[in-house]
């Protein structure tokens, strides 16, 4: 089975995180930016001028290629939400059990809190080893387009890779 598409998604996910981090640092005010990645590139959602996003994307790629893989990890990544929800749900299910559920609510709250605390470092590791790859290899940016309309600001960053 060829898993090359997963490698590309992970590389683009890393570049997406790095691009958003750098773009936000270049804006006068904090703006909420989000994104999602595919094997062909990534999308950035939010109010950011195309020229700022473009410069940020190329700068991010340079930083990643220079070995600054920490830019691939974001505390705002959806991976963290999935890890948090999974750990909390499992912890509560175990704590509540099947008998006398209401009596187990304090224990469920305690284990949910522990799961929430544990989810941050676990989410970071899941990003680092599963959902992103700061080792972007021969990844290159092919094109950056503003594709949103009206109040919806969307940019598509298309990438390719020789790997």
pTM of the model: 0.87
Structure tokens at 82: 């999935």
Residue 14 confidence (pLDDT) above 70: yes
Q: What is the 3-state secondary structure (H, E, C) of the chain?
A: CCCHHHHHHHHHHHHHHHHHHHHHHHCCCCCCCEEEEECCEEEEECCCCHHHHHHHHHHHHHHHHCCCHHHHCCCCCHHHHHHHHHHHHHHHHHHHCCCCHHHHHHHHHHHHHHHHHHHHHHHHHHHHHHHCCCCCCCCEEEEEEECCCCCCCEEEEEEECCC
Confidence of residue 150 (pLDDT cuts 50, 70, 90): confident
pLDDT at 53: 97
pLDDT for residue 146 is more than 90: yes
Express as a percent the part of the chain with pLDDT over 90: 61
Give the tens place of pLDDT for each residue, 28-70: 887 889 999 999 999 999 999 999 999 999 999 999 999 999 9
Q: Where are the domains of the chain?
A: 4-74+135-160, 78-129
Mean pLDDT, the chain, as a whole number?
Answer: 90
Fold adopted by 4-74+135-160: 3.30.980
């Amino acid at each position: 089975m060829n898993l090359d598409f997963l490698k590309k998604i992970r590389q683009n996910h890393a570049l997406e995180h790095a691009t958003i981090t750098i773009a936000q640092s270049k804006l006068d005010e904090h703006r909420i930016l989000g994104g999602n990645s595919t094997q062909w590139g990534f999308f950035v959602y939010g109010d950011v001028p195309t020229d700022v996003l473009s410069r940020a994307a190329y700068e991010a790629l340079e930083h990643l290629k220079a070995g600054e893989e920490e830019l691939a990890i974001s505390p705002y990544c959806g991976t963290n939400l999935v890890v948090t929800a999974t750990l909390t749900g499992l912890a509560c299910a175990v704590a509540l059990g099947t008998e006398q559920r209401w009596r187990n609510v304090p224990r469920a709250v305690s284990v949910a809190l522990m799961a929430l605390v544990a989810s941050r470092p676990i989410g970071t590791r899941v990003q680092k080893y599963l959902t992103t790859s700061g080792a972007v290899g021969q990844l290159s940016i092919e094109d950056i387009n503003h594709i949103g309309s009206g109040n919806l600001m969307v940019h598509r960053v298309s990438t390719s890779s020789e790997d």
